[in-house]
Each structure stands twice: as structure tokens, then as C-alpha cells.
């Protein structure tokens, strides 16, 4: 059954799907959450991550809360994620938020 992405999350979902077409690798998961956390509400981030990964929403929400309490993730990994995002319309996404 195909899930329906809420309209306000479609661009974020597409950004993640473009940057991680084969799924989000474990070493990128929390840096990705940390990067998106700076631009999204906790619940919206949890919802789009749950939709993309197939995780339970409440598990994703707890992981988002955990990211919110962390200092910062590895900047090298975040930089590599930003590079992937740049090829997927990251600047446009940032301007639309």
C-alpha cells in the first residue's frame, strides 16, 4: 500500500529520495536528521523520515528528539550530505521552507 505524503512534506521527501535513492545508510542517518532538524519541526521531520524509511513514526520522533539533544554530528558527514542534496535542489528547498 502506497503511503500518501502530506503536501507540505513532499519536497523534503523528494530531496531525501533523490540524495539517498537506495535508502539512508546507517552512518548517514543521524547526521541527516541533524541537518534537517535545523530547518524543520520535530513532528514534520519524524513524519517524513518515517514515511521514507518505513520506520514507526514514534520511533522516528524519539530519534529526532535525541538529535535535538545532541551537540552536533560529524561535520564531514553533514558536508557530504549537503553535497548530495545540492544535486537534488537543496538551495531551492531551503528557500521554500
pLDDT one-digit tens code per residue, 24-65? 999 999 999 999 998 999 999 999 999 999 999 999 999 999
Q: What pLDDT band is residue 1 in, cutting at 50, 70 and 90?
A: very low
> What is d(CA 9, CA 28) in angstroms, rounded to the nearest whole number?
20
Number of residues that this document lists for the chain: 97
Cα dihedral 6→48→36→92 (10° resolution): -40
For the chain, which residues make up each domain, given as ranges?
A: 9-96
pLDDT one-digit tens code per residue, 67-82? 988 766 567 888 999 9
Cell representation of residue 2: 502506497
pTM: predicted TM-score of the whole model, two decimal places: 0.89
Closest CA to 12 of 55, 61, 54, 49: 49
Contacts of 6 (CB under 8 A, 6+ apart): 47
Amino acid at each position: 500500500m502506497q503511503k500518501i505524503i502530506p503536501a507540505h512534506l513532499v519536497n523534503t521527501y523528494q530531496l531525501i529520495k533523490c540524495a539517498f535513492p537506495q535508502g539512508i545508510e546507517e552512518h548517514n542517518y543521524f547526521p541527516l536528521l541533524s541537518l534537517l532538524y535545523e530547518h524543520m519541526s520535530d513532528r514534520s521531520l519524524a513524519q517524513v523520515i518515517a514515511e521514507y524509511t518505513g520506520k514507526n513514526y514514534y520511533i522516528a520522533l524519539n530519534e529526532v528528539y535525541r538529535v535535538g539533544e545532541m551537540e552536533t554530528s560529524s561535520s564531514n558527514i553533514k558536508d557530504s550530505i549537503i553535497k548530495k542534496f545540492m544535486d537534488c535542489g537543496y538551495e531551492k528547498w531551503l528557500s521554500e521552507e
